[in-house]
Amino acid sequence: MQVDNGMKRPRVLKAVEEAIIEAAEIVRGGGVVVYPTETVYGLGCDPLNPEAVYRLLRVKGRGRKPLPVAASSVERARELAYFTPLAERVASLFLPGPLMLILRAKVQFPRGVTCGLETVGVRVP
């Protein structure tokens, strides 16, 4: 795997407040982080930052497939995608949790996130 020269050496941080703050700073700065969910470890970045999305795609070595977007809450997910009445019902029953909803995007995501589709996969781990 090739690593971007601008990327720092990976570090493992304990899930303490300082580490969470540092991870948030890395994401805000356009970096890529690894984070745990209830089912897997995910690679994440700011999904609205095209350079960060490109960096994430390079790290993942992912082909032309849409990327899921993890939201911190259902409220934040509603800012990113249009929730239908059915999606609202499903979200009220299962989120947060190990479920991804495919919804029409409300914001303009970089092409690397949606692959040009009008929809986005949203998770609230």
Report yes or no on 6 lying in a domain. no
Q: Name the nearest CA neighbour of 117 among 45, 69, 60, 52.
A: 69
| Measured CA angle at 99 (ends 13, 71), to 5 deg | 50
Looking at residue 114, its pLDDT comes to 97
Query: Domain of 52?
Result: 17-123
Report yes or no on 21 lying in a domain. yes
Give the count of domains, the chain.
1
CA pseudo-torsion sign 107, 111, 113, 116: positive
Looking at residue 16, its pLDDT comes to 81
What's 68's domain CATH number? 3.90.870.10
- CA 112/CA 67 separation, integer angstroms: 7
Q: Tell me which amino acid residue 123 is.
A: R
Looking at residue 59, its pLDDT comes to 92
Q: Name the nearest CA neighbour of 108 among 29, 43, 44, 50.
A: 50
Report yes or no on 1 lying in a domain. no
Looking at residue 7, its pLDDT comes to 59
pLDDT profile of the chain (125 residues), mean per 10: 52 77 94 90 96 95 90 98 98 97 98 97 96
Report yes or no on 10 lying in a domain. no
Report yes or no on 3 lying in a domain. no
